[in-house]
Amino acid sequence: MDNDKLIDMLSEPSSRDAAFRLLMQHYGRRLYWHIRRIVVSHDDAEDALQEAFLKIYSSISSLRSAEKLVPWLYRVATNEALRCLRSKTRFFQSIDDLSPALTDKLHAESFLDSDAAEVRFQQALLSLPTSQRVAFNMRYYDDLPYEQIAEITGKSVASLKTNYHYATLKIKDYLENSDL
């Protein structure tokens, strides 16, 4: 898909709707899974995805650079996913404290035939701090370059690389030291 052409179409009111449909056909699934990996529950992912689409549609005509398109889409989706998590916290509770609740959801929503190793790996990811988990997901699952992840998260490339390294160590440690 030619993002430059898409940006041109999105800036024109006459072609905006068609371009938005094309955009979502292309990136919609990626955004869904990105959100789902953060919020875990399908219902929450659906709500956050819907909100993200609304925001993307209402603001996308002001986007001028094709290079910024993917980071921007991910940023909107990430923000909506984190907002969804924040809505589930109580006073003074951090979203990192939601890890046990998210682990419960993971078990509830994992399909019966799912591999135990897949579930365990997700559990290990849920043991990471949320910001580290989000950055790890974008690198590991979506193959986004560190420069784009830096644009999305507002962190430096160096700190993201360090974070990724520590995340892999923590995951390995979790898998080795927790009971099956």
Partner 1 sequence: MNTNNIYDNVGRRLPFSETDEYLDNLISRSTEAAIDAPRKSSPTWYTAAVAASLALIIATGFYFLSFQSPDVYVAEADSVEDFLYSLSDEDVSLLAFSDYDEIPEY
Instruction: Name the residues that contact partner 1, by CB under 8 A.
Output: 17, 20-21, 24-25, 28-29, 32-33, 36-37, 42, 46, 49-50, 53-54, 56-58, 106, 109-111, 114-115, 117-122, 140-141, 172, 175-176, 180
**To the nearest whole angstrom, how small is the minimum distance from the Cβ of residue 113 to partner 1?**
8
- Cα 166–Cα 135–Cα 73 angle in degrees, nearest 5: 170
> CA 172 to CA 177: how far, in whole Å?
9
Q: What's the Cα-to-Cα distance from 63 to each of 47, 49, 105, 138, rounded to whole Å? A: 24, 20, 36, 22
Nearer to partner 1, 77 or 160 (CB): 77
Question: Six-digit token pair at 134?
Answer: 């989000």
For the bound state, the minimum distance from the C-beta of residue 56 to partner 1, rounded and expressed in Å, comes to: 7
30/89 with CB nearer partner 1? 30
Whichever of 68 and 120 has its CB closer to partner 1, that residue is: 120
Q: Which amino acid is at 39?
A: V
State in angstroms the smallest separation of the CB of 92 from partner 1: 31
Q: What is the DSSP string of 33-99?
A: HHHHHHH--HHHHHHHHHHHHHHHHHHGGG---GGGHHHHHHHHHHHHHHHHHHTT--TT--GGGGH
Give me the least distance between CB of 139 and partner 1, in Å please: 11
- Nearer to partner 1 by Cβ, of 140 and 166: the residue is 140
Least distance to partner 1 from the beta carbon of 65, Å? Answer: 21
CB of 115 to partner 1, least distance (A): 7
Q: Residues 152, 157, 160, CA angle at the centre, nearest 5°? A: 80
Closest CB to partner 1 among residues 17, 104: 17
> How far is 128 from 138, CA to CA, in rounded Å?
14
Indicate the residue among 37 and 148 with the shorter CB distance to partner 1: 37
